[in-house]
Copies of this chain bind each other. A is one copy, B any other.
Amino acid sequence: MSEYILKISCSDEKGLIYRISDIIFKHKINIIKNDEFVGNCRFFFRAHLEGELDTISFQKSLELVLPSDTLVEICKKRKKDIIIFATKETHCIGELLIRHFSGEINANIKAVIANYDDLKPLVDKFNIAFHAIKAQDLSRKEHEKNILQCLKQYNFDYIVLAKYMRILSPHFVKHFEGKIINIHHSFLPAFIGANPYKQAYERGVKIIGATAHFVNDDLDEGPIITQDVIPITHEYSWQAMQQAGRNVEKNVFSKALDLVFDDRIFIYENKTIIF
């Protein structure tokens, strides 16, 4: 038997769940789990289904009975294909490589692209394609052109920024809307921008954090997926915060990617609804 993930969002009305469950029932497919949420007059519904399904006719049946602004996604459960972008730090990419190696992550790493070649020895150990696409002496535009060129050879679902320390241009981001996930090394919206640990040190905060989010046009302003924090004290230099923060970064990142790869997230009005 196959498994499917169904995602629906539309204006809220009475009887939506009745109509949806009617269609599901008539297609003789079983609901393993379903979740729904209504916020700001918008209805969100996700179901994990089991059985055999003609997805095209199923989608059409749903669209027929649901409001005209309905978005329906129905797809077979499968591993996602991803490209990792990184720079030099090992903790986030290392976590992904180990979990990928152990089959614990619901994704295939198709390639790693980095703006330095420091990570090549690590990535090579796991027999994954590594592309060092250097940014030095290039304009952002030229650099991204090279990356886009490299990406052409791959089919992929998501780009995963595992501490990729460069800003992506709106032009680049537009190519992959809702498909790029970043880990930011602060508890957003605190300490947007460069060196958040130094900013945190200077402000004298007692907690530091990390934020995984989808990337949009505005730096560090995309829809937040997960966040977590750890307590710190006056004894932490900003370097010590950075060191301690690495654990939070990789845990938050890992958790966010699990949610993305399992199709658990809706993006709506720059926020996430997560089931």
Of the listed stretches A108-116, A133-141, A142-150, A201-209, name the one at the interface; the rest are far from the partner chain.
A201-209
Alpha-carbon gap, A274 to B94, bound state (A): 29
Q: Is B98 a contact of A271 with CB atoms below 8 Å?
A: no
Q: Is B17 a contact of A274 with CB atoms below 8 Å?
A: no
Contact indicator per residue, chain A 12-55, by CB within 8 Å of chain B (1) or not (0): 00110110011011000011111111110000000000000000
Q: Is A271 a contact of B17 with CB atoms below 8 Å?
A: no
Of B25, B36, B227, the contact of A34 (CB 8 Å cutoff): B36
Q: List residues of chain B with CB within 8 A of the CB of A15.
A: 21, 25
Of B14, B18, B187, B247, the contact of A251 (CB 8 Å cutoff): B247
Within 8 A of B (CB), among A39-73: 39
State the main secondary structure of chain A at its contact with B.
Answer: mixed
Which residue of B has the minimal Cβ distance to A190? B190
Contact indicator per residue, chain A 95-117, by CB within 8 Å of chain B (1) or not (0): 10111011010000000000000
Say yes or no: is A191 at the interface (Cβ < 8 Å to chain B): yes
Q: Is A204 a contact of B190 with CB atoms below 8 Å?
A: no
Alpha-carbon gap, A25 to B104, bound state (A): 42
Of the listed stretches A3-11, A75-83, A152-160, A229-237, name the one at the interface; the rest are far from the partner chain.
A229-237
Say yes or no: is A129 at the interface (Cβ < 8 Å to chain B): no
Alpha-carbon gap, A31 to B125, bound state (A): 42
Say yes or no: is A223 at the interface (Cβ < 8 Å to chain B): yes
Q: Is B98 a contact of A234 with CB atoms below 8 Å?
A: no
Which residue of B has the minimal Cβ distance to A31? B17
Contact indicator per residue, chain A 192-203, by CB within 8 Å of chain B (1) or not (0): 000000000001
Q: Is B14 a contact of A22 with CB atoms below 8 Å?
A: no
Count residues of chain A with CB under 8 A from any CB of chain B.
Answer: 63
Q: Is A206 a contact of B227 with CB atoms below 8 Å?
A: yes
Q: List residues of chain B with CB within 8 A of the CB of A102.
A: 90-91, 94
Contact indicator per residue, chain A 241-253, by CB within 8 Å of chain B (1) or not (0): 0010011000100
Q: Is B227 a contact of A207 with CB atoms below 8 Å?
A: yes
Q: List residues of chain B with CB within 8 A of the CB of A270.
A: 204
Which residue of B has the minimal Cβ distance to A22? B18
Say yes or no: is A87 at the interface (Cβ < 8 Å to chain B): no
A98-B91, A251-B247, A254-B247 known; A17 vs B17 contact (CB < 8 Å): yes
A91-B102, A102-B91 known; A272 vs B126 contact (CB < 8 Å): no
A122-B101, A189-B191, A190-B187 known; A14 vs B25 contact (CB < 8 Å): yes
A and B contact pairs by CB, cutoff 8 A, 20 listed: A17-B31, A17-B34, A18-B21, A21-B21, A33-B37, A39-B235, A90-B102, A98-B98, A104-B243, A104-B246, A125-B126, A188-B203, A188-B205, A189-B190, A189-B205, A206-B226, A207-B209, A207-B227, A207-B229, A234-B273
